[in-house]
């Protein structure tokens, strides 16, 4: 049976995206024909909202870079519900460094919006690292920053009470992802709960409280942050 990666690559077409980190790194560090290893094997694949991109247990054959849309990395455990580890934005790599530590995925990745991703042959990336140290160094820097942020988010969220966590996630979407006070939540309340470690009911309840207090406006998935300062205060004090 073919792996997900192989199936995905088979679906894809050659990618020419200019903002790509890898392309950027190659342009900076690989003198002439950087395309030798990477560009030939890059393929773009589109996933609809909700579709699974890779599954825990699959063999890792690609680095996956988000071109457009939004994805989540998550663990599924037998008894409990899923736990979301992080959300990945355009021009970030989905899977952090873990691609170097294991031959198979330990987490799942799925699209939480319609998403275009770029599969880049991991074998070739490894070859590039081995042959070009300054490329390696730059890639290492980018990946470790992302990993650091994941750890920082975990510790931040862990210390907050429920209101603080909900405030945190609303500000994340507003400030970091959509860069607007009005946005459509790409995730269900259940997924928010999985992201910040609480129950679905309490996510809903606390969002309702924020609404009653005039801090946010809710129209199902559409959220408007009306009192930014207050929400920030709740996040910081939670």
- Residues interacting with a second copy, by CB under 8 A? 75, 77, 80, 83, 85, 96-102, 106, 126, 129-134, 136-137, 140-141, 143-145, 147-148, 150-152, 154-155, 158-159, 197
Q: How far is the CB of 81 from DNA (least distance, A)?
A: 9
Residue 62: Cβ-neighbour burial (10 angstroms; 0-12, 13-18, 19+): buried
Rg of the chain on CA atoms, in Å? 19
Give 180 or 188: the residue with its C-beta nearer to DNA. 188
CB 79 within 8 A of CB 95: no
Rule CB under 7 A: say whether 208 interacts with DNA.
Answer: yes
The site that binds DNA (CB under 7 A) totals a number of residues, namely 21
Task: Let me know the angle formed at the C-alpha of 94 by 88 and 96, rounded to the nearest 5 degrees.
Answer: 110
Length in residues, the chain: 238
What whole-number distance in Å separates Cα of residue 109 and Cα of residue 114? 13
Q: How far is the CB of 77 from a second copy (least distance, A)?
A: 6
Q: Which stretch binds DNA (CB under 7 A): 28-36, 85-93, 135-143, 203-211?
A: 203-211
Q: How far is the CB of 94 from DNA (least distance, A)?
A: 22
In this structure, what token pair is assigned to residue 149? 């942020």
**Region 64-103 residues binding DNA, contact defined as CB under 7 A:** none
Rule CB under 7 A: say whether 200 interacts with DNA.
Answer: yes
In this structure, what token pair is assigned to residue 35? 């395309």
Under DSSP, the state recorded for 56 is T
For residue 204, the partner it binds in a second copy, DNA, none, with Cβ less than 5 to 8 A by kind, is DNA
């Amino acid at each position: 049976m073919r792996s997900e990666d192989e199936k995905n690559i088979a679906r894809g077409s050659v990618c020419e995206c200019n903002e790509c980190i890898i392309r950027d790194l190659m342009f900076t560090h690989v003198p002439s024909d950087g395309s030798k290893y990477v560009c030939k094997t890059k393929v773009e694949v589109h996933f609809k909202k909700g579709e699974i991109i890779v599954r825990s247990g699959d063999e890792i054959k690609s680095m996956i870079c988000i071109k457009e849309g939004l994805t989540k990395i998550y663990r599924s455990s037998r008894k409990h519900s899923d736990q979301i580890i992080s959300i990945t934005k355009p021009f970030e790599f989905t899977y952090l460094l873990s691609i170097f530590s294991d031959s198979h995925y330990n987490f799942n990745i799925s699209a939480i919006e319609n998403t275009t991703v770029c599969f880049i042959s991991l074998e070739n990336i490894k070859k590039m690292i081995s042959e070009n140290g300054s490329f390696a160094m730059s890639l290492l820097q980018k990946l470790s920053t992302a990993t650091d942020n994941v750890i920082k988010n975990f510790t931040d969220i862990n210390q907050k009470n429920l209101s603080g966590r909900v405030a945190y996630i609303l500000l994340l979407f507003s400030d970091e992802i959509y860069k607007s006070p009005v946005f459509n939540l790409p995730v269900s309340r259940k997924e928010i709960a999985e992201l910040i470690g609480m129950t679905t009911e309490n996510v809903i309840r606390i969002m309702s409280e924020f609404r009653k207090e005039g801090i946010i406006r809710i129209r199902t998935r559409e959220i408007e942050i009306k009192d930014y300062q207050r929400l920030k205060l709740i996040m910081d004090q939670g």
